[in-house]
């Protein structure tokens, strides 16, 4: 009986989504996107799309999302938004970061990406346009992936900070006390595998089309580069997401080394009290600002 009720609820929710989607105006970009997608399917094999397509998507998106933060260091106006103003970026640090990224992307992540085709074949994940889910369903599944990844990241990230493990693996990522966007994936190869596992769990559970792989890559990269940017931009639309951690939350983790272990949301840190030092620090900064205004 309970199962039938659950199925009924899911069916009703699906119908509601379809109804709302039918009321929305047709996306003017849908035509060109459909043509480009079908062109890709006609000219490349599934293996090429899953492997080289995924690599190209990751590389283009990663370094494209890093460009704004990279340019901020040359714009005097943006200095007021930098969180740790006393620790500017250096050419030496950024060049070292770039070289490690190339190694991680092509020697660690590429072999994993090569398994994408076999994953889609094993689980019969479709590629065709006709079975591509609506944008609202893609976003809903990406949100599910984010919740799963955030949970995995919190507990495994916290474990990597254990005094018996930290210096062997996670210490490399903390080489930069003041993070910058490109440093998001600057890590020990083992950390790339350990924390990266959280990215794939949601895909295994929720993927219903190859487009979700790329959508989830895009969203995850936007988020992780944003929280590592080193800049808090008040008008950043990501800050409108409920429980979103944001740049200040993760920047404090790099500055303090303890607490604020979650990747995307704040609820696990709040539940286990691992954000207490972060809140105490914010209160201290507010008091200092108030004292300066009254002087």
For the chain, the domains span 47-288
Q: d(Cα 54, Cα 48) in Å, to the nearest integer?
A: 9
**Three-state secondary structure call for residue 265:** strand
Nearest to 159 by CA among 201, 193, 191: 191
Q: What is the pLDDT of residue 3?
A: 44
Q: What is the pLDDT of residue 4?
A: 53
**Residue ranges in the chain modelled with pLDDT below 70:** 1-29, 291-295
Q: What is the pLDDT of residue 57?
A: 96
Q: d(Cα 295, Cα 141) in Å, to the nearest integer?
A: 52
Q: DSSP for 172-216?
A: GGGG-SS--GGGGG---HHHHHHHHHHHHHHHHHH--SHHHHHHH
Cβ atoms of 281 and 289 closer than 8 Å:
no
b/e per residue 92-122 (b: at least 16 CB within 10 A): ebbeebeebbeebbeebbbeebeebbebbee
Q: What is the pLDDT of residue 7?
A: 41
Q: Model confidence over 177-192: pLDDT tens digits?
A: 999 999 999 999 999 9
Q: To which H or E segment does residue 277 belong?
A: helix 276-294
Q: What is the pLDDT of residue 30?
A: 77
């Amino acid at each position: 009986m309970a199962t039938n009720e659950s199925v009924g609820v899911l069916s009703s929710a699906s119908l509601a989504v379809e109804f709302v989607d039918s009321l929305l105006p047709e996306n003017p970009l849908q035509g060109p996107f459909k043509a480009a997608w079908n062109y890709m399917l006609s000219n490349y094999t599934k293996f090429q799309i899953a492997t080289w397509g995924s690599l190209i998507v990751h590389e283009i998106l990663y370094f494209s999302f890093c460009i704004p933060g990279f340019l901020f260091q040359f714009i005097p106006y943006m200095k007021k938004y930098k969180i740790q103003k006393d620790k500017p970026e250096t050419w030496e640090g950024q060049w070292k970061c770039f070289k490690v990224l190339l190694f991680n992307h092509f020697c660690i992540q590429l072999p994993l990406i090569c398994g994408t085709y076999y994953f889609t074949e094993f689980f019969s994940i479709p590629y065709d346009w006709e079975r591509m889910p609506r944008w609202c369903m893609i976003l809903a599944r990406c949100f599910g992936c984010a919740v799963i990844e955030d949970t995995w990241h919190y507990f495994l990230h916290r474990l990597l900070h254990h005094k018996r493990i930290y210096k062997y693996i996670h210490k490399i990522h903390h080489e930069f006390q003041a993070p910058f966007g490109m440093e998001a994936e600057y890590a020990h190869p083992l950390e790339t595998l350990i924390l990266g596992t959280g990215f794939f769990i949601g895909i295994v559970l929720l993927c219903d089309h190859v487009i979700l792989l790329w959508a989830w890559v895009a969203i995850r990269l936007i988020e992780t580069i944003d929280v590592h940017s080193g800049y808090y931009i008040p008008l950043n639309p990501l800050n409108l997401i409920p429980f979103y951690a944001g740049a200040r939350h993760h920047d404090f983790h790099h500055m303090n080394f303890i607490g604020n272990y979650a990747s995307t949301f704040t609820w696990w840190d709040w539940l286990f009290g691992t954000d207490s030092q972060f809140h105490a620090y914010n209160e201290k900064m507010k008091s200092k600002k108030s004292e300066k205004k009254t002087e």
